[in-house]
Amino acid sequence: MIDIRTLRENPEAVRASQQARGDDPALVDAVLAADEKRRASQQAFEDLRAQQKNLSRTIGKASAEERPAILAQAKEMSEHVKALEAEANVAAEQFQAAMYKIANPVLPGVPAGGEDDYEVLREVGSIPDFATRGFEPKDHLDVAEGLGAVDMERGTKVSGSRFYYLKGIGARLELALLTMAADQAEANGFTLMNTPTLVRPEVMGGTGFLGAHSDEIYYLPADDLYLTGTSEVALAGYHSNEILDLSDGPKRYAGWSTCYRREAGSYGRDTRGIIRVHQFNKVEMFSFCPEEQATDEHQRFLAWEEEMIQKMELPYRVINTAAGDLGSSAAQKFDCEAWLPTQNRYMEVTSTSNCTTFQARRLGIRERFEGSTRAVATLNGTLATTRWLVSMFENHQQPDGSLYIPQAMRPYLGGRELISVQ
């Protein structure tokens, strides 16, 4: 949720953000109207309640002859006060609902437009030339099945489409990748956490995931709980309705969890293998920091993500995501995309978002500041996830079907340099 003062003082900036995102700028006027109605209703209620209190004070001083009339007036005024209070509550609810429709204003430098309007910031590493290596690369699933690392057929048999088993070396590779990410996070001051994967509606909504893309989320109506698609949700809710001490710097957590996504909006894209699946594992970075430090913290998150990709020895690029491709909570997002040889394209493997104070306002997370309190900034970024194996299988495959293991990963796999075909 944005700061209403920002919207009152600079509505044109919020309208411009809405337009850049492809959202309706008229929502700004709807919020301003709801705000005006809310404040007027609250003032009318408080004014009449003050009159009611003053009238109540006169009852004890009134004569026997005056008291009946004053009591009658007090009764009538009490009913009117209750009616105004109800109107003020409705106006407040309408204002809150309108505010929840406004996405976080994008930061300067975020490209306008949709999914294809990103800005490429840099390309890192050399794209492998399989022609000079003397063989045609297989796609990640063929490589993985050849190594005995993935079983899609039985995953589908047990759970349906887009479920799978990682087995043998596949399970070891994922565990090695996530453990390497956890080690890097701890080395950089993150507190490692195994997070809940079921959360209450107020936490899911507070992080901004119950908006336009709520159909991506698994919901358990019998328990009124949601399965999380990222540990960002549980990490954001960890300090909900708390006042934090950030005098020593940001509070950083790294959440290791299983994640669940319905992939309702994928429309058949990347259905082969383990690119878009319903269940996967992930190590997610999360930070609570003072809002003026958020931009620098965002760059740190991106640097840590790039460090992990470089350890995996994968060619990649970094993009500045366009406004229309941001989630409602993010004011800016950088994606790291690894090269996918068999599809001749880059594929997102990790991203980091600066959510400014948007999530914290919804979740009631504040810090002490200049004798008062204010909302903190929140940031998130993926440090490793199951999808990374896709790019690893394709880029590091060898002519005989074996798999090269990056040097940084070898200590997590007993020193193995190569995984042979089963």
Find the mean pLDDT for residues 252-256: 98
Angstrom distances, CA of residue 122 to CA of 87, 303, 334, 335, 405: 54, 13, 11, 11, 25
Q: Is 258 annotated as a binding residue?
A: no
Find the mean pLDDT for residues 12-34: 94
Find the mean pLDDT for residues 355-378: 96
Quote the pLDDT of residue 56. 83
Find the mean pLDDT for residues 149-161: 96
On whether the CB atoms of residues 18 and 29 are closer than 8 A, the answer is no
Quote the pLDDT of residue 257. 97
Instruction: Retrieve residue 241's tokens.
Output: 């309705």
The full set of domains in the chain, from first to last, is 4-101 (1.10.287.40), 119-419 (3.30.930.10)
Q: Is 348 annotated as a binding residue?
A: yes
Question: Strand 243-244 and strand 165-166: pairing?
Answer: unpaired
Q: Is 306 annotated as a binding residue?
A: no
- Is the confidence at residue 266, as pLDDT, over 60? no
For every residue of 368-405, which 3-state class applies, written as one string? EECCEEEECEEEEEEEEECCHHHHHHHHCECCCCCEEC
Angle between helices 26-59 and 11-21 in degrees, nearest 10: 140
Q: Is 231 annotated as a binding residue?
A: yes
Quote the pLDDT of residue 39. 95
Quote the pLDDT of residue 267. 58
- Is the confidence at residue 120, as pLDDT, over 90? yes
Q: Is 380 annotated as a binding residue?
A: yes
Query: Cβ–Cβ contacts within 10 Å for residue 411, how many?
Result: 13
Least confident of 127-136, 148-157, 191-200, 349-358: 127-136
Q: Is 277 annotated as a binding residue?
A: yes
Q: Which residues are catalytic?
A: 261, 276, 348, 351, 387
Smallest CA-to-CA distance from 238 within 249, 250, 218, 253 is with 253
Angstrom distances, CA of residue 409 to CA of 161, 275, 313, 315, 394: 31, 21, 10, 16, 16
On whether the CB atoms of residues 167 and 229 are closer than 8 A, the answer is no
